[in-house]
Structure 1
Amino acid sequence: MDKNQLSEGIVYLVGAGPGDPGLLTLRARSLIEGCDVLVYDHLANRKLHDWASAGCERIDVGKSPGRHTMEQSEIGEILVAKAQDGLKVVRLKGGDPFVFGRCAEEMLALDEADVPYEVVPGVTAALACAAYAGIPLSHRDFGSSISFLTGHEDVAKESLRVDFAKFAEVGGTLCIYMGMSKLEEIVEKLLVGGLSKDRPAAVVSQGTLPGQRKILAPLGELVEQARVGDLSAPAIIFVGNSIGLARSSTWFDRAPLFGRRIVLTRASGQKSKMRSRLEELGAEVIDLPLIKIEPAEDRKLVAEVFAGIATYEWVVFTSANGAKAFMEIFFRAYSDIRSFGPMRIACVGESTAEVLQAYQLDIELISQDSTAEGLAKELIGTDSLDSANVLVITGNRNREILVDVLEGVGRAIVDTLPVYQTDFADVLEAPVLSTFLKNGADAIIFTSSSTALSYVEQSDDLIFEGGARKPILCSFGPQTSKTLKENDLKIDLEASHPSTDGLIDALVEHFSASG
């Protein structure tokens, strides 16, 4: 192998943190964004994969109870082989690589193969779960030591490898990883070792994520309380006097949508202000794409429009998808943004405007409501349309009302340029489908008539299992509501005004009222 090629390859052993992507280090994010290969396990949040480039190779080496993707030796072989191919490899490991992350074994494999590597620390689960659950791990009056223990070091091993009876004598706070499958045995050994049944204890499951759950109980009642609460792995078990200072409610679970599972039906691969806002408010957001967006252009029409692009007085963008597709076509035709011309720009909603603002384009008009009707009214209010040449950027499913109003009431001369098409996505291809049908959700959001029609069309594949939460149906605005009603679907919630903020405000109000 060429020495220069070998010298370029490197492995980064990166801590993915406990779950919340916001707890990842800046160094870790930078490496994920620039890597050639992403090797990940199941405790690393899948959202982190979105930061990798489209061309990045993704390799799943995760282990979970009853499922072993590959042996540890095989993982080491992959890391060595990819680095020796001259690639930048990120080995993404849940929590911190050196805290029960088997980083030492992978380091040895890399050392033996003389492959360069770097270790990037991560926030370990015990510290993060305790903080998000409001559980102090130390207090000068209740405990001045913290011990990190593991219920087992390999999901394939059945026996405990830590003598918990001896650790009962240590005192302080015990933080026990990977112990849920052996919880009863662990508690029994701690009691045999001398800990009181009244010693404060806790279990935090799915820590730092919207689905986080916890129980606080005396050690003697912990097993039964965990069973009643149906807490499962991944989880951290805490035992110690300082745990008694914790409260049932914390800063994290007081978020207005905490514990709510919200389903978005938009096309996959799209940045979403709605997702970000819902997650900020504590919701668990899952994507169930019901539509797909694909480029679609009439080359002859594009050539005609671009030949006369300087003659338009307004260009109107009806969606973020249209804005993205248009700019891609534009830069195939022109290399300089100054070729855009003197057109004034109007957009439906903030999300559409943000696409164009990224190119340093000034937006003359952003409609308050994210509807064609709202934009048409505001454009007419500018008194600039009479005999004006207007270009409307559309998709294949855009309604004609915008063009009709601009031509009829505004007396504008309107050309339309379709640049993308919306089709139904096959719901059976959605990775979350089985989980969604098994567990259900609290709400499903329809942001367009297209998503509503796709839901109706594929209803036979969207039948919930017994015991699943039945979601309320939420509509982005009047037109989407009309489509749902025409198909005999009950609308439980409609945005106060057609916008992301309007819909989220309605969700918060609804769930606050329902408790």
Structure 2
Amino acid sequence: MSKGKVWLIGAGPSDPGLFTLKGKLVLEQADVVVYDQLVGDGILKMIPKSAEKIDVGKKAGNHKVPQEEINEILLREALNGKKVVRLKGGDPFLFGRGGEELELLCENKIPFEIVPGITSAISVPAYAGIPVTHRDYSPSLHIITAHRKRGSEETVDYKKLVALGDVTLVFLMGVGALNEISQGLIEAGMNKRTPAAILEKGTSSAQRRVVADIETLPKEAEKYNIGTPGIIVVGKVCTLAEKFHWAEDRELGGARIVVTRPKKRSSKLMEKLYNLGAEIIELPAIETVSVQSDTLNEMIQKINNFNWLVFTSAVSVEILFDYLKSIRMDIRNLVNIKWAAVGPATKDAIESRGILVDYIPEEYNGEALAKGLISILNKDDNILVFTPEGAAPPCVKALRQEGFNCDSMAVYKTEYEENEEIKLRVQDIVAFTSASTVKGFVRTMKNIDFKTVTAVCIGEQTAEEARKHEMKVAVSEKASIESLTEKITEIYNIMKHREKN
């Protein structure tokens, strides 16, 4: 068996938007991913389902798996011919022990690559509004680890750091050593009033900052119960945080939203929420799978017998056109047929194929679709409705009850995704776009009290499913991604206001 290869990839501080393009590209092709606890949830969700995941739980002062064993894991998997990704928080070579992990690989002639990551030493202060250098405040940046090798008696040389003058000092892995850092710098001659900051969970929705001076910072950090992961910044640049803070000022700054849409269909919602400052957790609760049968083929062969094609979802549009392409049927064969869509997303899916929609209801649901069609159809019209597998949707029943010749064709089915359970916080918001996504979420989250879940839903049918589990439910004004985003923003602002008061 030929040898595999190892990639040491820096995952950055937490925000998946700070993960490099190369890192994402390599990660998506991995056979095995060995990762630390400091890797953000959004990045972990990028790991392909086909990859084996090995959690080595490595963070400052707490190693679930000893470093020597991690080195052996990388070697073993590479010798088995695997593409191995070692996914590390921040940058693999900045106090990440990446060099140690390479030594054993080099001894065994295992090929490797390094994919640098954005270090928390720069990105976390930036998200807190602290530029680590500034011509008027600090000419240089010095990054120090406060965490020493186990058994080492070596200590930080505070006198040399203080002798550097008005510079920026960034201490990584130093939250537990804050008192020692403060005392060490003061005893080495640093002015007690030197500005300093401690920054917790930087670039995530839970990020917090405490700015004080080097003498009082330990007490202030204790007062606000600042924990790990965190970094300490010392220098005049810390005073700029009050002027330059920005991350929490965004409309959804500080929000964490769980998106349950199918992975292939979640990008638009995720993009809108992310651009407003939210941290996104992907939990695709369902997957839509096309259903092809002899009946579908028969129906398509006589498609010109129909006056109207009606679509109850965007996915049914995509499946139809993919099928037409697979059987080499030209869309010019669909002349003189009218097209109806249940809502804007479905309408966009049709019109992106170069066909203008003839009817869309004012309210985006099956009942409104049927009611609107009944008012404009001719009694001798033949209608074909594309549906999901299962019971006929309300619009089909309503059209048939009015005496219209209405056929329905199931073109896809919904399957529930197998997901790892996530730790849901009380302040999190879960976005649901269908009753199926609610059911899939409930199947995954087996160990929580659903009464604590804040659910923002598209449509009353989705909301009703969420209410069955006693979730706290809000419903978007319209059945669209734009309206759902607006409702999420509204609910988050209400929650934030309550928290302040």
| Pair in the same fold by TM > 0.5 | yes
- The alpha-carbon deviation at position 354 of structure 1 amounts to 6.9
Aligned residues: 491
Could you say what secondary structure the match of 2:163 adopts? coil
1:334 aligns with 2:320: no
Structure 1 distance, partners of 2:124, 2:292, is: 54
Structure 2 distance, partners of 1:509, 1:15, is: 35
Opposite residue 174 of structure 1, the aligned amino acid is L
- The alpha-carbon deviation at position 470 of structure 1 amounts to 4.5
Structure 1 distance, partners of 2:219, 2:403, is: 70
1:88 aligns with 2:83: yes
Opposite residue 318 of structure 1, the aligned amino acid is T
Aligned counterpart, 1:411: 404
1:48 aligns with 2:43: yes
CA pair 459-236 structure 1, distance change in 2 beyond 3 A: closer
Instruction: Compute the TM-score of the two structures, normalised by the length of structure 1.
Output: 0.80
1:233 aligns with 2:228: yes
Alpha-carbon deviations, 1:73-116, whole Å to 9, x = none? 33233333333444333322221121111111122222211122
Given that 1:100 and 1:153 are in contact with CA atoms closer than 8 Å, whether structure 2 keeps it comes out as no
Opposite residue 484 of structure 2, the aligned amino acid is L
CA pair 326-37 structure 1, distance change in 2 beyond 3 A: farther
1:431 aligns with 2:424: no
Matches within 5 A, 1:204-223: 204-223=199-218
Structure 1 distance, partners of 2:299, 2:478, is: 34
- The alpha-carbon deviation at position 279 of structure 1 amounts to 2.5
Opposite residue 239 of structure 1, the aligned amino acid is V
Given that 1:256 and 1:508 are in contact with CA atoms closer than 8 Å, whether structure 2 keeps it comes out as yes
Could you say what secondary structure the match of 2:73 adopts? helix
1:128 aligns with 2:123: yes
Matches within 5 A, 1:186-205: 186-205=181-200
Alpha-carbon deviations, 1:364-387, whole Å to 9, x = none? 338575422454466568768951
Aligned counterpart, 2:386: 392
Structure 1 distance, partners of 2:192, 2:145, is: 21
1:143 aligns with 2:129: no
Structure 2 distance, partners of 1:307, 1:90, is: 49
**Which segments of 5 or more consecutive residues in structure 1 lack a partner in the other structure?**
none
- Of 93-102 and 271-280, more deviation after overlay is shown by 271-280
Aligned counterpart, 2:108: 113
Could you say what secondary structure the match of 2:65 adopts? coil
Opposite residue 449 of structure 2, the aligned amino acid is I
CA pair 126-316 structure 1, distance change in 2 beyond 3 A: farther
Q: Choose from 347, 354, 368 the match for 1:362.
A: 354
- The alpha-carbon deviation at position 131 of structure 1 amounts to 1.3
Matches within 5 A, 1:12-411: 12-64=7-59, 68-153=63-148, 161-171=155-165, 172-247=167-242, 250-266=245-261, 271-286=266-281, 292-293=286-287, 295=289, 297=291, 299=293, 301-302=295-296, 304-306=298-300, 308=302, 311-312=305-306, 314-320=308-314, 322=316, 330=323, 334=326, 336=328, 338=330, 342=334, 346-349=340-343, 351-352=345-346, 361-365=353-357, 367=360, 370-376=364-370, 387-396=381-390, 400-407=393-400, 411=404
Aligned counterpart, 1:508: 489
CA pair 184-354 structure 1, distance change in 2 beyond 3 A: farther
CA pair 157-131 structure 1, distance change in 2 beyond 3 A: farther
1:440 aligns with 2:420: no
- The alpha-carbon deviation at position 340 of structure 1 amounts to 10
CA pair 286-385 structure 1, distance change in 2 beyond 3 A: farther
Tell me the C-alpha RMSD between the 2 structures.
Answer: 3.9
Alpha-carbon deviations, 1:121-141, whole Å to 9, x = none? 221111111111110212223
Alpha-carbon deviations, 1:204-237, whole Å to 9, x = none? 1121122221111111111121122222211111
Structure 1 distance, partners of 2:232, 2:140, is: 16
Structure 2 distance, partners of 1:280, 1:353, is: 24
Opposite residue 269 of structure 2, the aligned amino acid is M
Opposite residue 356 of structure 2, the aligned amino acid is E
Aligned counterpart, 2:461: 479
Could you say what secondary structure the match of 1:246 adopts? helix
Given that 1:262 and 1:284 are in contact with CA atoms closer than 8 Å, whether structure 2 keeps it comes out as yes
Aligned counterpart, 2:475: 494
- The alpha-carbon deviation at position 390 of structure 1 amounts to 1.2
Given that 1:35 and 1:56 are in contact with CA atoms closer than 8 Å, whether structure 2 keeps it comes out as yes
CA pair 60-458 structure 1, distance change in 2 beyond 3 A: closer
**Which segments of 5 or more consecutive residues in structure 2 lack a partner in the other structure?**
none
- Of 26-35 and 204-213, more deviation after overlay is shown by 26-35
Structure 1 distance, partners of 2:224, 2:132, is: 23
